[in-house]
Amino acid sequence: MVKSAILLVGGMGTRMQPLTFDTPKPMLPLVGKPITEHQIMKAKAAGITEIVLATSYLSDVFTPYFGRGEKFGIKISYAVEESALGTGGAIANAAKLLTGSGPVMIFNGDVLSNHSLERQIAAHEENGADVTLYLTEVEDARAFGVVELDGARIASFNEKMENPPTNIINAGCYIFNRDIIDQIPEGVVVSVERETFPVLLARGAKVYGFVDNSYWLDIGNPGALLKATRDLIESAGHEMAQGKGSSIDPTAVVDQGSFVGAGAIVGAGAKLHQSIIGDGAIIGANVDLTRVFVASETEVGENTVREGDFLGFSSH
């Protein structure tokens, strides 16, 4: 049984600028809810009862939203790194706040997936593994951690390489036995991908892969967030979605998986294609936006035409 989880949400989200100037990447809204909330609900559905958010960059943004988890029916606490400790250092630091001592599920904070946590947990237990990595296959593996398999066991792990030997990648969700976490040095920067995995493999630790090729997306840049939003909306059978209290003029066209935030107003004749409109924004008449992000409370003047743009995000 796996009851505890750590969510890695401390990265700078550099590739997500300008959306991440004021909001850490995992708190960016995906169909009106932070990416982190989607992951928390997935973990809860798989039987996880406590989660530690491993935060660093803009750590203050998480607590007011998630509290102690009362609203979400799961115990949530926060491990704050004064300066980023890397993925491995973050795991070691966050684990100290867990009450349980069993295996721990660890999530990258920017992944949307339909993979089966239950089956990953079952595989971990059946194999008697020390660590089990969720793996998926992609066309181009260069931007990811790449593994070579020997049966179900991982034979090699290489983070971001130019000529990957396979197209099977680390999909960013692990199960670690607690004794393995306790061996990660504390208080120093450690990368789980560049240090911990290679060291474990060199030592002959039982590191297994769990391949699941269902839907998977790393929401690493704005284009991926547009895609994730569209995929979620369309998989529910809709063309668009809107938050509470928003209003869309009947002559407006909102499609291709656009999301209109809570309280936002979309004027007559406006066209929104695969765009994300922040809460309380005002979209004037005949505005035409394709693949555009509009910040919360931003007013877009009538007849504005934009493609692939960001409107209203501060540029500090």
Distance CA 290, CA 130 (A): 47
Taking a C-beta distance cutoff of 8 angstroms, is the pair 92, 185 a contact?
A: yes
Q: Are 280 and 260 in contact (CB under 8 A)?
A: no
Instruction: State the number of binding residues for Mg ion (CB under 5 A).
Output: 3
Distance separating alpha carbons of residues 2 and 23, to the nearest angstrom: 30
Residue 90 is a binding residue for ligand GDD (CB under 6 A): yes
**Residue 227 · residue 276 · CB < 8 Å:** no
Verify binding: residue 88, ligand GDD, rule CB under 6 A: no
Tokens of 71: 């609203």
| Least CB distance to ligand GDD at residue 11 (A) | 3
Distances (CA, A) of 114 to 119, 176, 215, 270: 12, 20, 5, 34
Using CB under 6 A, which of 19, 74, 85, 260 touches ligand GDD? 85
Task: Give the one entry of Mg ion, ligand GDD, none that residue 6 binds, where binding means its C-beta sits below a cut-off of 5 to 8 angstroms depending on kind.
Answer: none
Listed ranges 42-50, 52-60, 219-227, 243-251: which one lies at the site for Mg ion (CB under 5 A): 219-227
Q: Scan residues 48-67 and list those touching ligand GDD (CB under 6 A).
A: 54-56
- Rule CB under 6 A: choose which of 29, 103, 164, 172 binds ligand GDD: 172
Shortest distance (Å) from residue 289 CB to ligand GDD: 27
For ligand GDD, the binding residues in 127-146 under the rule CB under 6 A are 144-145
Does 81 sit near Mg ion (CB under 5 A)? Answer: no
Q: Is 267 in the site for ligand GDD (CB under 6 A)?
A: no
Provide the minimum distance between the beta carbon of 202 and ligand GDD in the complex, in angstroms, as a whole number.
18
CA 157 to chain centroid, in Å, comes to 21
| Longest pairwise C-alpha distance within the chain | 65
Report cis status (omega within 30 of 0) of the bond before 29.
no
> Nearer to ligand GDD by C-beta: 166 or 290?
166
Tell me the residue type at 284: G
Considering beta carbons, is residue 119 or 160 the nearer one to Mg ion? 160
Q: Minimum Å distance from CB 243 to ligand GDD?
A: 24
Phi, psi for residue 65 in degrees, rounded to 5 = -80, -45
The residue (of 54 and 260) whose beta carbon lies closer to Mg ion is: 54
- Closest to Mg ion by CB, 32 vs 172, is 172
x-marked contacts with ligand GDD along 98-117 as a string, rule CB under 6 A: ----------xxxx------
Identify the residue among 218, 225, 248, 256 touching Mg ion (CB under 5 A): 218
Minimum CB–partner distance for residue 84 and Mg ion (Å): 14
Instruction: Return residues touching Mg ion (CB under 5 A).
Output: 110, 218, 220
Instruction: Return residues touching ligand GDD (CB under 6 A).
Output: 8-11, 54-56, 81, 84-87, 90, 108-111, 144-145, 159, 169-172, 193, 218, 220
